[in-house]
Amino acid sequence: MNIMVRNTACLILLMSILVGCDTNDKPVFPVYPVKGSVKYADGKPLTDGWIEFTSMAGETKGRNSNSKIDKDGNFEMETFARGKGAYAGPVTAVISEPASEFDPETGGVKKSDVKVLEKYKNYETSGLKYDIEKKDNTLNIIIDRK
């Protein structure tokens, strides 16, 4: 087989495989705005960190949304593929402290003073369960310090 015929055959095979990978026929699940705050039981805000939801609802089960928690304890959820919001239905949340950062002055690792109990870092132990409705949602989350 000459090289031109072989390359053409490979190109046709590759194109047919790529056409089979088209994602346009997959269902698109809408997301709904979710914002809120994370505070300790004493009323003081969690001043840094991350919050993540995983959907527990039927077709969207296991799909995640997350947000950085700002210095005032506020967050606004966002999904990777669908933009701002979270999937409707029951969700379980986890909260984690911010990642350590490189400190250029010392050459070491700069750790945050923000601490979150281990139970809030695990979906099975966090106890943070919410129902996201098909509308704008506001959640005021209270966590324990100790």
Residues in the chain, pLDDT under 70: 1-27
Please tell me the predicted confidence (pLDDT) of residue 117.
95
49: left (phi over 0), alpha (psi -120 to 50) or beta: left
Integer Cα distance of 9 and 18 in angstroms: 14
Homologous superfamily of domain range 31-143: Carboxypeptidase-like, regulatory domain (2.60.40.1120)
Q: Give tens-digit pLDDT for 101-117.
A: 888 888 888 888 888 99
Q: How far apart, in whole angstroms, are the C-alpha atoms of residue 80 and residue 86? A: 10
Domain ranges of the chain: 31-143
| pLDDT attached to residue 2 | 59
Q: What pLDDT score does 21 carry?
A: 45
- SS3 string, the chain, reads CCHHHHHHHHHHHHHHHHHHCCCCCCCCCCEECEEEEEEECCCCECCCEEEEEEECCHHHCCCEEEEEECCCCEEECEECCCEECEECEEEEEEEECCCCEEECCCCEEECCCCCCCHHHHCCCCCCEEEEECCCCEEEEEEECCC
Please tell me the predicted confidence (pLDDT) of residue 30. Answer: 92
